Amino acid sequence: MGLQTGTPPIEREKRVVEWLRSVLPQAKEIYLLGDLFDFWYEYKTVVPKGFTRFLGTVSSITDSGIPVHFFTGNHDMWIKDYFSAECGMIIHTGPFTTNFNGKIFHLAHGEELGLTNRWYKFILSIFHNRLVRFLFGIIHPSIGVKLGHKWSYSSRLATGLSLEYLGEDNEDLIRYAREFLTHEKVDFFIFGHRHMVKRIRLDNSSEIIFLGDWIRNTCFAEWDGETLSLRSYPS
């Protein structure tokens, strides 16, 4: 939400809210795998403009007792405790493994997993640096948020470049999953980050799911206790 490309940001926010309301009657838990916001910086006393429909809806869901998990992505990694304290979300800053009905799920946004690009690793290390985050917080919000969005708009998606599937040997997240399986069993790896919808079988018992994005598609994964399905909203 917030990216000035494709449909207007407020329309995408409304669509996310509609989807949340549509799955609510059957949902026991909801997992949001990052880059939900085009840019987010958490100031001490200032909340970035917008997203009130989404945040209000999530707050009502967590107030009802349904857990909502939020995984920070490379566009919204500067989240601290606002979403947990004010909206009741469970925040994950890295991969999370859980068990549903005997099946092991490994969930993450995925921007750093299996990464071999040294330049991108360096860029991520800058954004994760505490001093950099502190210094950015000194900048007045009206300037800081503008800078943040300018950086985000320079991303490959914002400039309209397609992100093609690179093949099993060249995809960082597949490389990560294969290495992970050497020391731990997982039935389903589910990732955000890759702007494509794809389901890849690694072996007879493990699969990787790329969830795509909600700019070019509106895909989500649904686990009914026995089967994991990829669905689109509206169906």
pLDDT digits (tens, 9 = 90+) for 109-148: 988 888 887 887 787 787 778 888 888 888 888 887 778 7
Do the Cβ atoms of 186 and 97 come closer than 8 Å? yes
Angle at 47 between CA 41 and CA 50, to 5 degrees: 100
Please tell me whether residue 69 adopts helix, strand or coil conformation: strand
* Topology of the domain covering 9-232: Purple Acid Phosphatase; chain A, domain 2 (3.60.21)
Other C-beta atoms closer than 10 Å to the C-beta of 44 total 7
Q: pLDDT digit string (tens) for 177-208?
A: 999 999 999 999 999 888 889 999 988 789 99
pLDDT, mean over the chain? 85
One-letter identity of residue 73:
G
pTM of the model: 0.85
Task: Write the single-letter amino acid at 192.
Answer: G
Per domain, the residue ranges of the chain are: 9-232
CA 102, chain centre distance (Å): 25
Tokens of 131: 């001093």
Amino acid, res. 162: S
How far apart are alpha carbons 121 and 118 in whole angstroms? 5
